[in-house]
Amino acid sequence: MLDCSDVLTRRLQNQGFDVESGTAGFCTGIRNLPSQVYEKQIFVYNPSYLVKSKETDIDDVSPEYSLQYLEPTISRGATFLTFVNHVSEQIEGQNAVYSWIPHMPSILFTKDKIVAANKFDHYPDYDCGYLVPIVAKNQLQIPVLQKLRPPKPQDYPRDVFHLFWNGHGDSLGVVIKRGRGELIILPQFKSNEDVILTFLHRVVPKIYNLEIKTSLKEKYVSPEEEKCKGEIEKLQFRRNEIEDRLEKAREELAGSQRAKSLVIGADSTATQILIYYETALKQEDVALFYLYKIIESIEHKYGGESQGLGALGCNSEWKLVKRIANASYSDIRHAPKPGDVIKKWSDTEIKTCFEATEKVVLAFFASLFKTPQANPPPTTE
């Protein structure tokens, strides 16, 4: 574990992982490697800030350990997981924090709110399907602030797999396979530590086929182990079920939001209301005129004030906006001209009018989604 929190290290140790922690030096100014890199199979790098951007400025307190063995170690089968966190406002510093990693592609700044994730559902990407648990775009920190320039993949066997990309097709996360090992590069998540835990518990066993037992002691499962494993399997099943339901609910929510936009956009009064409201927000000095126009538009929609009030309610809010607006302008039905005398209103009054108008508008939108009641069939005696 390099530049990971002590809290995470302790959690992993308590869960039975053989963990050593240290720092590459860019975050602290002091390099302190915990052991020879060729003695490890899993490396996790999670830098959070930048102190030294030059290798020569880092004080190495563990000179007996060297990073020069890291590249052949990866080639022999080690896995290196790193997160491209935003650690510097300067691109040179941003790259310096990661450039020491073998096979690390160069980093560029971006600001992407739209991100796509690999579903690993077609060839050759399904060869990396074991990474599904950590390729979760809903857990990313948005916007993503860094993109990558990975090498061009070879056709066979495929050695570069994109995990995340932006709307332009630029890579935001990638797997680079070298020899028998690989470099997994992920963007910053809301919680990198949660992703690290998922990686160690759910991805690493698939990479290294850890379920194969090599000794009689490992093959024997004690009653307490069996109990714990059973509980883990139940919780894992529940988590998978919840994640599936959560993903489905998100898709349904997105569909509902699109449908809502279509319904509101198809109503001419609703469209005009939104224009008036945006104008009111942008033109504070005449905001009440446009808030009044919103009420007036709804009134015309229903054929009069009493009909509108009967359909939507919001009586006090409706009348409040009209009363204050009429008191502000000499002729509320026409937009004020330059030089017109306008009664000033307090911040509290304008805030109250915006809130009242919003309540009326939301009630009007709700009316667009009400199913008209069918006429009852005629009765006969």
Residue 336: pLDDT over 70: no
CB 148 within 8 A of CB 163: no
pLDDT, tens digit, for every residue of 181-217?
Answer: 999 999 999 999 999 999 999 999 999 876 555 567 7
Alpha-carbon distance 133 to 203, whole Å?
7
Among 93-97, 98-102, 222-226, 324-328, where is mean pLDDT lowest? 324-328
pLDDT at 6 over 70: yes
User: 104: closest CA among 170, 45, 158, 167?
Assistant: 45
CA 163, CA 147: separation in Å to the nearest integer? 12
The three-class DSSP label of residue 78 is coil
Q: What is the reported pLDDT for 287?
A: 83
Place 381 in a pLDDT band, splitting at 50, 70 and 90.
very low
Q: Which of 12-16, 180-184, 329-333 has the largest mean confidence?
A: 180-184
Top-ranked range on mean pLDDT: pick from 42-46, 241-245, 295-299, 310-314? 42-46
Range with the poorest average pLDDT among 199-203, 310-314, 345-349: 345-349
Residue 163 has a CB neighbour count (10 Å cut-off) of 23
Contact between 140 and 148 (Cβ < 8 Å): no
Instruction: Report whether pLDDT(15) > 90.
Output: no
How is residue 30 written in tokens? Answer: 């002091």
Residue 8 vs residues 54, 81, 85, 333: alpha-carbon distances, Å: 27, 15, 17, 65
- Average confidence (pLDDT) over 93-106: 96
Q: Is the pTM of this model over 0.75?
A: no
DSSP bridge partners of 286: none
> Could you tell me the two tokens for 51?
């102190």
3-state secondary structure 13-76: HHCCCCCCCEECCCCCCEEECCCCHHHCCEEEECCCCCCCCCHHHCEECCCCCCHHHHHHHHHC
Contact (CB, 8 A) for 292 and 269: no
Per-residue pLDDT of 46-74, as tens digits, reads 999 999 989 889 999 999 999 999 999 99
Class of domain 6-213: alpha beta
Give tens-digit pLDDT for 103-112. Answer: 999 999 999 9
pLDDT at 340 over 60: no
Structure confidence at residue 373 as a pLDDT band (50, 70, 90): very low
